[in-house]
Amino acid sequence: MNIRPLYDRIVVKRISEQETTRNGIIIPDSAKEKPQEGEVMAVGNGKRLEDGKLVDLDVKAGDRILFGKYSGNEITLKGTEYIIMREDDVLGVLDSAAKAAKNN
């Protein structure tokens, strides 16, 4: 990827949800809501405070996150859709089972 977000912005790639229901019914794209879960692809250097200090971001590349429905700005690079948003738009970081097992 050839983009580096500035300051407290992050680049997120949406994680697609399952395309069919349990009964095998295919839901058309026009009826589906876009997923609110994504993977952080790149992060900026940090948030600049009023006193000039730079504070590191809590999220890092590779984290799976939840974000608001209307968060960020959508862009397309080389045929792939990304969202650029501020770290403040992140609702939470999802812990995977692998990460939880590694920490124990």
Residue 104 corresponds to which amino acid?
N
Rounded-to-integer distance, Cα 34 and Cα 79, Å:
17
Q: Residue 94 has what pLDDT?
A: 87
Grade residue 16 by pLDDT with cuts at 50, 70 and 90.
confident
Closest CA to 14 of 31, 29, 35, 28: 35
pLDDT tens digit sequence for 34-60: 668 899 999 999 998 899 899 999 999
Report the pLDDT averaged over residues 12-20.
71
Vertex 68 angle, CA 44 and 22, to 5°: 120
CATH 3.30.300.30 for the 9-18+29-103 domain, yes or no: no
